[in-house]
Structure 1
Amino acid sequence: MTSNNARNDQEPWWITNYRGHAPVQRYSHHNLAKTRRTIDFYIRHLGLEPDQTILDLCCAFGRHTRELTQRGYARAVGVDLSPDMLTHATSRDADAGQRPRFVRADVRALPFDNASADAALLLRSFGFLDTSKEDLGVLKEIARVLRPGAFLGMDHFPPNSATTKVGKRVLEGATATTTMHTSWDPATNRLNTHMSTRYKDGHVDSFPSSSRLYKPEELGELLAGAGFAVEGQFGGYDGSRLSEDSTRCVVIARRL
């Protein structure tokens, strides 16, 4: 039995792919140690303070929002467009302290006042839109809600032989197995993936995805065009130097 997960062909993949239970299976490999390491990095490099308003944009299950809240950052806000992701996020109470706050919103039109936030995170959720102009619009909207001098932390995959590797990958979840077939289009710098999640009862959900990978200098140009200055680029959350072979580009940018 196969399902398209209630997919509307008129809707983009970054809406249809985050419905239902399949995303829980696909991304269940993220563990608490990784989340804590990521938040440790941003607390240090963004200079986060407990009384600040911190936006965790495209937060999905809210794991970073939850970690911040548990550490006493009570004004952290998780923002995501997917009601299913937010339902999953809000169903998990914080282990201690205040319950995390989540808001359903499109990152292209954030429901916050100008210069009302002290910091923002945009982690592994950039390049999904069809054009660079649209991606620039996302960064401009983030700049709008950040106060001057506030920091944005980004985590993006730069294009190189490792990140554009094509082929098949299998992710084993608790109740399902996801098979991913990936291809690379050098003409558009887009990584295209077809994912199929098979549950133990034989039910299958299938999803396409496509994201543009920006070179670090290209990402820097977009950030500059949106009103940011790049303060640092790293090859990982261990603070390693960014190189041509780095499989991720962690960016610290300051709102001008």
Structure 2
Amino acid sequence: MFSPEGPTLRELAVQALSSVERGYDLLAPKFDHTPYRTPDRVLDAVASGLAPLGPFGRGLDLCCGTGAGVGVLARLCRDGVTGADFSAGMLSAARAHPVPAGPEVTWVRADARALPFGPVFDLVVSFGAFGHFLPRELPGLFGQVRSVLRPGGRFAFPVGAPPRPGSPAYWTLLGFDAAMRVRNALWRPPFVMYYRTFRLGDVGRELARAGFRTDLYALPGFGSRPDGSPRARLVVARRLP
């Protein structure tokens, strides 16, 4: 799963016993050499899915990590791109990467639950961060996203279809979440990272309550499930007036 440049087992254990913020500060220098970094094929699929809806003015990569999603926004936005994350270590790693061609890129340390922006963005994207938010936090999170979007602005993110019950992937994710719950029951500070709490039906309802109209687009490069449904979708939520 990890390249030779990635973290050691000991480093991962130290991260897992830290807070979310501290854990990512520690992991940041080697994060891009782990499976946790969003794959390029996902980034490219999202960029292709959003391209017909653009071009956009200003873009925000929410919970940007080391900045992989900023490259998507640089292809789609004309007036500027911002990456926001609450981990200083991840932002430091992001700043060390070559700046994508296109509009100016800025980096801001910020908690997604209390964003320090006005309604200045036309597109907000996020990749792989929602497992760090408990279901009860989604209304506040989506409210924050709405507050930084201009009317008609869009909030977009990819979601994968849940694994088939009984499959190896199903048991792997179930076991990970169970282990994380035990860890958080026994150890402080908590490390919030769950794979099975971000359910598309619940997400759609919370987006509607927050003032979004949501459309789903298949990401065809990931194929279909046996029932014909897509293995991956792009959620595009438009901010209503």
TM-score tier by shorter-chain length is 0.7 to 0.9
Q: How far apart are residue 138 of structure 1 and its match?
A: 0.5
- Secondary structure of the corresponding residue to residue 174 of structure 2: strand
Q: For residues 70 and 249 of structure 1, what CA distance do their matches in structure 2 show?
A: 20
Q: Give the structure 2 partner of residue 147 of structure 1.
A: 150
Q: Structure 1 residues 3, 67: closer, same or farther in 2, change over 3 A?
A: closer
Q: Which of 115-124 and 221-230 deviates more?
A: 115-124
Q: Give the structure 2 partner of residue 76 of structure 1.
A: 81
Whether the aligned pair in 1 keeps the contact of 2:142 and 2:207 (CA below 8 Å) is yes
Q: CA RMSD in A?
A: 3.6
Q: Structure 1 residues 157, 22: closer, same or farther in 2, change over 3 A?
A: same
Q: Give the structure 1 partner of residue 233 of structure 2.
A: 249
Q: For residues 136 and 237 of structure 1, what CA distance do their matches in structure 2 show?
A: 30
Q: Which amino acid aligns with 1:19?
A: L
For 1:1-256, list aligned pairs within 5 A.
Answer: 2-3=10-11, 7=15, 9=17, 11=19, 13=20, 16-17=23-24, 19-20=26-27, 21-27=29-35, 32=40, 34-45=42-53, 47-49=54-56, 52-69=57-74, 73-94=78-99, 96=101, 100-113=105-118, 115-130=119-134, 132-161=135-164, 165-166=169-170, 182-184=172-174, 191=177, 209-230=193-214, 232-236=215-219, 238=221, 246-256=230-240
Q: Which amino acid aligns with 1:226?
A: A
Q: Give the structure 1 partner of residue 187 of structure 2.
A: none
Q: Give the structure 2 partner of residue 204 of structure 1.
A: none
Q: For residues 142 and 37 of structure 2, what CA distance do their matches in structure 1 show?
A: 28
Q: Structure 1 residues 101, 144: closer, same or farther in 2, change over 3 A?
A: same
Q: Structure 1 residues 8, 61: closer, same or farther in 2, change over 3 A?
A: closer
Q: How far apart are residue 94 of structure 1 and its match?
A: 2.4
Whether the aligned pair in 2 keeps the contact of 1:54 and 1:117 (CA below 8 Å) is yes
Q: How many residues align?
A: 219
Q: For residues 152 and 196 of structure 2, what CA distance do their matches in structure 1 show?
A: 28
Q: For residues 85 and 131 of structure 2, what CA distance do their matches in structure 1 show?
A: 16
Deviations, residues 199-224 of structure 1 (Å, cap 9, x unaligned): xxxxxxxx984234444322210101
Q: Structure 1 residues 78, 39: closer, same or farther in 2, change over 3 A?
A: same
Q: Which amino acid aligns with 2:140?
A: G
Q: What's the % identity of the aligned pairs?
A: 23
- Tell me the TM-score normalised to structure 1 length: 0.69
Which has a greater percent of strand?
Answer: 1
- Secondary structure of the corresponding residue to residue 35 of structure 1: helix
- Secondary structure of the corresponding residue to residue 112 of structure 1: coil
Whether the aligned pair in 2 keeps the contact of 1:62 and 1:89 (CA below 8 Å) is yes
Q: List runs of 5+ in structure 1 lacking aligned partners.
A: 168-181, 195-206
Q: For residues 229 and 37 of structure 1, what CA distance do their matches in structure 2 show?
A: 22
- Secondary structure of the corresponding residue to residue 150 of structure 2: strand
Q: Structure 1 residues 90, 209: closer, same or farther in 2, change over 3 A?
A: same
Q: List runs of 5+ in structure 2 lacking aligned partners.
A: 1-8, 181-190
Q: Which amino acid aligns with 2:120?
A: S
Q: How far apart are residue 81 of structure 1 and its match?
A: 1.4
Which has a greater percent of helix?
Answer: 2
Q: For residues 110 and 157 of structure 2, what CA distance do their matches in structure 1 show?
A: 19
Q: How far apart are residue 134 of structure 1 and its match?
A: 0.6
